[in-house]
Structure 1
């Protein structure tokens, strides 16, 4: 990347401070964005590049200011002070995420994406750039191996796979002509990933994120005898019949995404098909394949896969063991891949995500037009960059930039990110790549209503008093840190009683990081929430028992094992038969528990782990859910409730949240409800208020601190 030794000659100067250094306010704004993302642990690839470019431009601008004789000493000192402020935030952010430190090196911001970002910011500041700085070319991507060296020794090849390979040693070649060159497009020089995320983040007022689907066919030629697809499912399948092959199927939970995927594979003849799923739903997927496509064989991969049917049409594997099967799965000629609960791959640094993306890349490399489907009712957990890994899996983007097809659509809009109209058009372009999002209230008119009702409970015993005392002590500890910082830096014009929100956030962030490092040691936000769950356990179980006697089957969700244990002991003492669904069960045991709950009238309660049973399960024999403990995310809560509120349910569904009154539990419930606005804005196009960007944990700590300081 070129230096800015000539920058002084290419900037317009006026007497105003920002016109003397118009790049500085841009850098200040960008670094605050990075700081906010880092505080939430959401520094994705785009923001890491921003971090690089900010560091590079701070060095450039500092050298320019020092060398420019047009500045007086006072003006130069003021500009350097402002640059030091930006650099300080960079340093604090790097201290929070040490993987950023290497990005501070002078030669880091040299990728085409970084160069484009630097160029765009300089142009925004009014800089006049040389022609060689305006035109930036991409480098050829390097294809990563399916099996990384670190996993080579873990690879297994089941004996039946060897038999399949010997039976058909040569895969049918793909002779479809492929483009040899990529035509240059108008937007090639622009950094586009940030604007694409922004297009969804500001999606209020747009339509629900669903591609244009074909009309309902006159006859259902898809369903096997005795079954019938619903209207919304049929229209989706018509899109597959019309030739579309990549989808983010983001229907709300309970609208039959599994059935749609199974039938889509049949229509596209996408066999052999790989389905990657959470462990808890492997058996259910095998059942759905048999139910909707009885002419096809499915095999479930367990452990090293010694018992699989290698000649099956559908291979079902859970995320946790995928790493040892990468080699043979990448060599058998897969024609399609489905990733269920695709939000599981949102962390690009995880081995789970890397395994999925490597296999997807191999499939696209060997198959001209494979069926690629990402299924998740909650694609956005905390941030729009949760889309990143899913878009990469589908081949819509490379992470650094849009893929060729999406780039063509963006180019056809006629706009650039400098145009306000670009963002709505860009959102529509991404949606047309294959996002399908239907809401229950729109497509399942016969599906009963869903209500979330809060039940405050008083923790009046010694345990409850101890929790409230621990909360007050934590608040005072945070307040003491806040006051020390204020005293050290001075109040800087704060009015009497006014609270500095930046310092509140800083103190709360530090406490959150210490809490994560400490685990269960000492009183922190995590240990307090766990204690609240323990204190509510019997109260929640007693309410569930009363509910079961009056309305029938109840699903009881808890986050911690000890809360589940207390609840189960209470049900046993009350003479209520229950089943337990936990993460440490074998797949057959878990499926038996589900079958018993749905099919045995004598089983009254399903006691479920919020994390192990919150996805993929069908528990619609009940219409009442008790949430004994609150989740840290709105998505996790929604997933749990929608184990009951799904197609086939004929009763109104009520989720009873047990909330400990006069504790931090109340604030957590409020923050979870606010977080529902992200999906409503980005996916459903609803005009909702902007929500706070911090995590629920951080928001709860900030609330405790403000209370201790006497604020709201």
Structure 2
């Protein structure tokens, strides 16, 4: 950065005339005053992003520089000098108050802190705006060569694990196949915009709307035939258009469709089209199991493996590796050398904080993949790419390789250069926005593709209860099944087998054993381990996972209705919403009628209320919650009718969007069977009442059927 002496040499150029107006004596001051107010406003809404932190640096630097110039300028009168110093002190005071709000800014006030190329460009542009004539060495600013980061930082080296199965995969193929298309990057030619600071203008292009068009790249038309779906499945037209873009060769996308529009299925099929195997999917813990299920569903010829803990049970020869953010840090070393050809980041807003370890892990892996593969498949999936500020785009754009954080990447720079415009031109901003969108932003809302969607969709999200509490639930379930099986065996032994073939069971005896257990469970209430206490424990174990999913859903689609059966699950969810800064209302059985109506009115009418936490039994009927079109079912009901009634609080006349109900289901537990049984009861209603042609079904209750399932399972009989 030039010294204050350099600035003093150009002071005469900054003054446009000898007018007595103070702005003419120091034209940079009103610019600094405007910029510091912008930074202050951003800081009041949360911590500052990268661009505003640089802006903070440059303001502080120029305040010091201008103060030195004003003090040393002998042409200024005392009154003018005093007034100018007072105005500079005002700017400095706002900087100090902002730093007091976010103490990480204090280090940016140091005298030599504003020395990055981005800061130098920003300072230069502001001085030129003030009318200053700068020497040639300040007009041309070159970038510092980036330092290549390692995938595994030193702080995480000791935490690395390499599953033994991965060693077997390496030994079977010790040499990573080279990508013959990958070539050393040619020297980038100098472009017209190289000397401009462009990240701020790019963010401004989106924050201002710049043209108002939907942020979706041009997509190919729907193909005549669906060539991708496995037998019995069919992709929707909006999904097909995205996949045609992949078929055409596009490989990096910010897929920002609203939840419920099939982003997971699109990603799985995109990997198949691009041949991007092995593929890594980094996802929230709550959707890990669902990802594995979607791989099996849409690409049954491909193998997926879910990484848990230290990865002792993974399939090292799988095509798709699925891992949650929380454990990625210990698997970086082997993932960085596996030869990945694609990386999907689900709920990509999780990486928006560039200082977080999870963000650094993902960005390091993406960088390594780009080093190894010429055109990898990189997908950032999120219905909420922006949460606090338009600069939330930063990490996602870096992940996709569109920018470096300091400037656009070569492809985006070429697009911006082709506009023939600069940030000094008003027309630059809509053109810049379109250029970024064309890099691969795809954003569709439910209402945009309503014709593709069913009016009501129930989507299951299997979750893995892999902590000690989850393991105790599965153990209790096994013990209950064994107890039922032992009863069955005693009865069979007492009466004789009566000609049962090997492996055959007597369904009547199984039903009788299950019915006796059900009657005893109802009499015992919450005492001992029975089907009711187990389902309640499962609900408690899922509570925070379901609540966290509701928080992510709200950020994307707005209002959400959250249903649970038990008070403790509702309490845990409400505490999580409060800790996440999300305002909620509660609808419970112990409320007075006026209190309940107040909660409903607040949910439907108050834009600051994001979630309604509802009791399945108390709020399942008679309420209108159609301000939302998304429902989270944290616990399963015992009846199909109760589930339907809950969903129909939002799926009712006047609802103008398709409704999605998200059922959170504990994998590898009785929860999975209960969900299946509820669905079968729905089919029974469809057959009996609507005349639909479905298979005849048992009239047993869900509780009884669940206990019969546990008995058969313990006897080694598959339902």
Residue from 56, 64, 71 that aligns with 2:61: 56
With 315-324 and 42-51 compared, the bigger mean Cα shift is at: 42-51
Tell me which residue corresponds to 2:162.
157
The change in CA–CA distance for 1:168 and 1:550 in structure 2 (over 3 A counts) is same
TM norm structure 1 = 0.68
**Which residue number corresponds to residue 436 of structure 2?**
430
Query: What is the Cα deviation at residue 235 of structure 1?
Result: 1.0
Aligned match of 1:129 in 104, 126, 134? 134
Shift of 1:527: 9.2
Residue correspondence of structure 1 range 215-234 to structure 2 within 5 A: 215-234=221-240
**Cα deviation digits, residues 98-142 of structure 1 (max 9, x gap):** 221111111111111111000000000000000111000111100
Per the alignment, residue 175 of structure 2 pairs with: 170
The SS at the match of 1:377 is coil
Moved more, 398-407 or 588-597: 588-597
Cross-structure match for 2:280: 274
Counterpart of 2:677 in structure 1 is 600
Shift of 1:13: 3.4
CA–CA separation in structure 2 for the residues paired with 1:538 and 1:262: 46
Q: Is the CA contact 2:179–2:374 (under 8 Å) kept in the aligned structure 1?
A: yes
Residue 23 of structure 2 is matched in structure 1 by 18
What SS class does the counterpart of residue 600 from structure 1 fall into? helix
* 2:391 corresponds to 1:385: yes
- Matches for 1:236-385 after TM superposition, within 5 Å: 236-385=242-391
Once residues 552 and 92 of structure 1 are traced to their aligned partners in structure 2, the CA distance between those partners, rounded to angstroms, is 46
Cα distance in 1 for residues equivalent to 2:674 and 2:418: 53
Q: Partners in 2 of 1:528 and 1:248 — Cα distance?
A: 25
Give the structure 2 partner of residue 475 of structure 1.
Answer: none
Distance (Å, rounded) in 2 between the aligned partners of 1:535 and 1:256: 31
- Equivalents in 2 of 1:220, 1:529: separation in Å? 43
- The answer as to whether partners of 2:351 and 2:395 remain within 8 angstroms in 1 is yes
SS across alignment from 1:444: helix
User: Aligned partners of 2:94, 2:297: CA distance in 1, in Å?
Assistant: 56
Instruction: For residue 230 of structure 1, report the CA deviation from its aligned partner.
Output: 1.0
Alignment of 1:61-140 (within 5 A): 61-140=66-145
Say whether residues 1:34 and 2:39 are aligned partners: yes
Give 3-state SS (helix, strand or coil) of 1:276's partner: strand
1:411 aligns with 2:417: yes
Query: Does 2:2 match 1:2?
Result: yes
- CA 1:594–1:419 in structure 2 vs 1: closer, same or farther (change >3 Å)? farther
Say yes or no: does 1:45 pair with 2:45: no
**What TM-score results when the alignment is normalised by the length of structure 2?**
0.67
Cα separation, partners in 2 of 1:376 and 1:577, compared to 1, 3 Å:
closer
Alpha-carbon separation, structure 1, partners of 2:171 and 2:580: 59
How far is 1:179 from its partner? Answer: 2.8
Q: Report the Cα offset of residue 234 of structure 1.
A: 0.9
**Distance between the aligned counterparts of 2:48 and 2:367, measured in 1?**
24
Q: How many matched pairs?
A: 517
Aligned-residue offset at 1:12: 2.7
DSSP-derived class of the 2:281 partner: strand
Is the Cα–Cα contact under 8 Å of residues 280 and 590 in structure 1 kept in the other structure? no
Q: 1:6 to 1:533 in 2, by over 3 A?
A: same
SS in 1 for 2:344: strand
Residues 112 and 138, structure 1, Cα contact 8 Å, conserved in 2: yes
For 2:157 and 2:253, how far apart are their aligned partners in 1? 31
Q: Describe the shift of the 1:284–1:115 C-alpha distance in structure 2 as closer, same or farther (beyond 3 A).
A: same
Structure 1 residues 437 and 52, CA, compared in 2 at 3 Å: closer, same or farther? same
Give unpaired runs (5+ residues) of structure 2: 457-576, 597-612, 645-663, 686-719
SS for the counterpart of 2:408 is coil
2:210, 2:429 within 8 Å by CA — same for their partners in 1?
no
1:444 deviation in Å? 2.9
CA displacement 1:497-530 (0-9 Å, x = unmatched): xxxxxxxxxxxxxxxxxxxxxxxxxxxx969999
Deviation at 1:257?
A: 0.5
Q: What displacement does 1:62 show?
A: 0.4
Contact 2:295 2:302 in 1 (8 A): yes
Question: Structure 1's 62 and 234: CA in aligned 2 closer, same or farther, altered over 3 A?
Answer: same
Shift in CA distance, 530/403, structure 1 to aligned 2, threshold 3 Å: closer
Q: Residues 204 and 425 from structure 1, CA distance in 2 versus in 1: closer, same or farther, beyond 3 angstroms?
A: closer
Question: Which protein, 1 or 2, shows the higher relative CO under an 8 Å CA cutoff with sep ≥ 6?
Answer: 1
Q: Based on CA coordinates, which of the two structures has the bigger radius of gyration?
A: 2
Displacement of 1:602 in angstroms is 8.6
Shift of 1:557: 5.7
For residues 436-493 of structure 1, give each alpha carbon's deviation from its aligned partner in whole angstroms, at most 9, with x where no partner exists.
Answer: 111222223153679xxxxxxxxxxxxxxxxxxxxxxxxxxxxxxxxxxxxxxxxxxx
Q: CA deviation at 1:276?
A: 0.4
- Name the CA shift for 1:326/1:528 in 2 (closer, same or farther; >3 Å): closer
